[in-house]
Every structure is written in C-alpha cells, then in structure tokens.
C-alpha cells in the first residue's frame, strides 16, 4: 500500500546528453512536485561540462556508440 511518506520514483532514460535535447527532460523534472516524486535521469552517451547546471539526480554512463550496438532492439 502506498503511503504519503514514500516518494514515487521515476527513471528517465535518455540516449545522449546534449544541452538542447536535455532541456525537455529537465522541464519534466521541474514540473513534478519534489515532495511526491524522486526523479533519476540516466544518459547512455555524453556528459555535461563541469559548470553546467543539472536538475535532479543524474547518471552519465558516457558509452561509445559501439558499446550500445544492438541496444535499439530493447529500447
């Protein structure tokens, strides 16, 4: 049973990090009330510059395209 104290976890999976493409994902994160939702974003390729602002919890795998070969079947 769901209790108000528990947050709903959301996993946002993105193919690659780029400031322009990531903007929509950040808007979605900001639209979700942080007292209800805990959002984690995972980026398979790329990573930000050190001085870029990040929204929510983010993980950057920074895989090369070769490492992701065949993943399109599962995503």
In a domain, 25, yes or no: yes
Q: What pLDDT is stored for residue 73 in this prediction?
A: 60
In a domain, 3, yes or no: no
Residues of the chain with pLDDT under 70: 1-4, 51-56, 72-75
Whether the CB-CB separation of 60 and 46 falls below 8 Å is answered with: yes
Q: What pLDDT is stored for residue 7 in this prediction?
A: 92
Q: What pLDDT is stored for residue 34 in this prediction?
A: 92
Q: What pLDDT is stored for residue 39 in this prediction?
A: 93
User: pTM value?
Assistant: 0.75
Environment class of 22 (CB within 10 Å of its CB; exposed 0-12, middle 13-18, buried 19+): buried
Q: What pLDDT is stored for residue 72 in this prediction?
A: 65
For the chain, the domain total comes to: 1
CATH number for the domain spanning 38: value is 3.30.160
């Amino acid at each position: 049973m769901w209790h108000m104290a528990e947050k709903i976890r959301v996993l946002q999976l993105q193919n690659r990090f780029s400031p322009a493409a990531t903007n929509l994902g950040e808007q979605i994160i900001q639209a979700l009330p942080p007292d209800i939702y805990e959002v984690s974003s995972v980026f398979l390729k790329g990573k930000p510059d050190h001085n870029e602002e990040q929204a929510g919890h983010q993980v950057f795998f920074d895989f090369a395209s070769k490492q992701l070969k065949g993943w399109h079947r599962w995503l």
